[in-house]
Amino acid sequence: MSALDVRLQCTLRSAERRFDLDVAFEAHAHHCALMGPSGSGKSTVLMAIAGLVHAARGHVRIAGQTLLDTARGVDLPARKRRVGVVFQDYALFPHMTVERNLQFGVHRLGRRIDTGGMERVQALIRQFDLQALRSSLPRNLSGGQRQRVALARALATEPQLLLLDEPLSALDVPLRARLRRELAEMLGRVPVPTLLVTHDPQDAEALAREVIQLDNGRVVGQVFSPKVC
Ligand SMILES: Nc1ncnc2c1ncn2[C@@H]1O[C@H](COP(=O)(O)OP(=O)(O)OP(=O)(O)O)[C@@H](O)[C@H]1O
């Protein structure tokens, strides 16, 4: 059974353009990447896996569990999919402290913060070394600290799969290299399978074992990287 089994067909239309996505891939590695040039459809695939973009046809299975199967009328809403997303700009809530941002992850499960939820938040604060920052607002954090909070918040939802949408692309080159190393180290400690979206072969090489290559809404290759996070 593959860790991730995806087939998605959809058409995005605006007044001036139309984009046809038709992808199918199975990924087996713990850390995978979806790599392709700008506009190739990477984020659309990611959002469709998370249930945030509607696919006209296809299926999404994680470790054998079906989240979407249009032929069988299965389409779990995003909040019922155990998929964590780390967005490009980290999308932290600016008015919430680090601790509240993490608590929101637990709330997203539709649960009140009970003792188990509080313990999970505290464990993530320790795991990502955020103790001294728990009362800080995101605007007072460095890029690396924001990245740690975003990862911890995504993991607070107890996901089956963690999706990372270009987590390094907004950074300048020296910071990017440092945070790439830090992210590789953190992902190595995360037991959850990951799918990273990137246009950068260096990100894919450092952060993924299996790379699915996209171009113009199609899968054009699938390769294994010798590196393991
Ligand atoms: N609502 C829409 N209507 C029409 N086209 C759209 C719409 N949303 C996105 N697109 C187009 O779909 C294509 C795929 O977009 P997507 O964001 O998935 O690509 P990407 O590979 O993630 O790009 P990038 O690396 O630049 O983020 C792009 O050409 C984009 O312009």
- Please report the ipTM that was assigned to this predicted complex: 0.94
- Distance, CA 169 to ligand 1 centroid (Å)? 16
Ligand 1, residue 88: give the atom nearest the CA: 27
Arithmetic mean of pLDDT, 121-133: 89
Residues 140 and 166 reside in one and the same domain: no
**211 C-alpha to ligand 1 centroid (Å):** 20
90 part of a folded domain? no
One domain, residues 165 and 222: yes
Q: Domain ends where: 158, 190, 208?
A: 158
**Which of 158, 188, 204 corresponds to the end of one domain?**
158
Look over the chain and give the mean of its residue pLDDT values, rounded to a whole number: 88
Residue 186: in which H helix or E strand, if any? helix 173-189
Ligand 1 atom closest to residue 46's alpha carbon, by position in its atom list: 18
pLDDT-derived band of residue 113, with 50, 70 and 90 as boundaries? low
Cβ atoms < 10 Å from Cβ of 170: 12
The CA 124 to ligand 1 mean position distance, Å, reads: 33
Burial class (CB in 10 A: 0-12, 13-18, 19+), 96: middle
User: Residues 186, 148: contact at Cβ < 8 Å?
Assistant: yes
For 57-70, write each residue's pLDDT tens digit. Answer: 999 999 889 999 99
Residue 53 exposed, middle or buried by CB count within 10 Å (0-12, 13-18, 19+):
middle
Q: What is the tens place of the pLDDT at every residue in 179-217?
A: 888 888 888 888 889 999 999 998 999 999 999 999 999
Residues 125 and 218 in one domain: no
Number of domains in the chain: 2
- Calpha distance 161→85 (Å, rounded): 9
Calpha distance 194→191 (Å, rounded): 9
How many residues can be counted in the chain?
Answer: 229
In a domain, 210, yes or no: yes
The whole-angstrom separation of Cα 100 and Cα 121 is 9
Kindly report the number of other CB atoms within 10 A of residue 10's CB atom.
Answer: 20
Is residue 60 within 8 A of residue 66, CB to CB? The reply is: yes
Do 6 and 72 belong together in one domain? yes
Judgement on whether residues 8 and 63 belong to the same structural domain of the protein: yes
Domain assignment of residue 148, given as a range: 97-158
- Confidence (pLDDT) at 164: 93
